[in-house]
Structure 1
Amino acid sequence: MEIKTLQNDMIAAMKAKDKGRKDAISALVSAVKKAAIDEGCREDIPESLVDRVILKELKTAKEQLDSCPAERTDLLEEYQLRHDVIKEYAPAMMSEEEVRAYITEKFAEVVATKNKGQIMKAVMAELKGKADGKVINQVVADLCK
């Protein structure tokens, strides 16, 4: 996802007077810019950074939604809208089957050792941001049996 796409969608939401959507996208743009400044790439923001920030913000929004008291319907609606908007921009994650195929194909030598620690060390860096950590852990545990 490019930062330009987020900015254009934010402008479109402003023109449509959709305050909730505009606020959610604006928060994403701000988080991406802050991360870019922190990493020293403010002028040329890579798509991988944008995707990483979106996933982090999605996780935060999910935690807000899960921890919100049920009687606070106003907050629940706000958090749900924010979560849904961020989810639209989140990169698609690999399925369990895709993760299994990727690991067995690309990391065959490490998988043959049946050493879960070594496999996780090799695989996690490669699949970070592409697949859920829980899915990766489950697949690796299955492969080590």
Structure 2
Amino acid sequence: MEMETLQKEMIAAMKARDKVRKDAISGLVSAAKKVAIDEGCRDDIKEELVNRVILKELKTVKEQIDSCPESRPDLKEEYQARYDIYQEFAPAMMSAEEVEKFITEKFADVLASKNKGMIMKNVMPELKGKADGKVINQVVAKLCQ
């Protein structure tokens, strides 16, 4: 997701007077800018950085939904609305089949060792932000058998 696209969506939500959507997108923009400043690239915010922030915020709000007490349906509804909005902007994750194909094509030499730790060490940096860690772990475990 491009930072400019995110900002345009926020402006559109402001014009539509959609406070919930505007607040959610504003939170993503703020988080992306903060990470960019921390990493020293405030003027040139890359798409990879924005996607990483969106995934992190998505995970955070999912944990909020899961840990929200049943006695607070108002809070749970607010978290769910934010989660749904974040989901719109989240990058598409690779499926288990795509991960398996990627690993077998690009890491055939490491895969031949059947050493799960070594495979994970090589594969994880390549797939970070592109596939769910649980899916990667399951695929690697299957390929090591």
Q: Indicate the TM-score class for this superposition, using the shorter chain for normalisation.
A: over 0.9
> Residues of 1 paired with 2:121 and 2:67: CA distance?
32
> After TM superposition, which residue ranges in structure 1, 4 or more long, deviate above 2 angstroms?
none
Q: Report the counterpart of residue 29 of structure 1 in structure 2.
A: 29
Unaligned runs of 5+ in 2: none
Matches within 5 A, 1:100-119: 100-119=100-119
Q: How far has the Cα of 1:71 moved from its partner?
A: 1.9
Q: How many positions carry a matched residue from both structures?
A: 145
Q: Deviations over 1:47-92 (max 9, x none)?
A: 0000000000000010001110112111011000000000100000
Coordinate RMSD, CA, aligned: 0.5
SS of 1:48 mapped into structure 2: helix
Q: TM-score, normalised by structure 1?
A: 0.99
2:2 and 2:98 map into 1 onto residues whose CA distance is: 25
- Measured in 2, the distance between the counterparts of 1:112 and 1:87 equals 37
Q: Distance in 1 between matches of 2:53 and 2:81?
A: 18
Give structure 1 stretches of 5+ with no counterpart.
Answer: none
Q: TM-score, normalised by structure 2?
A: 0.99
Q: Could you tell me how far apart the structure 2 residues matched to 1:14 and 1:90 are? A: 21
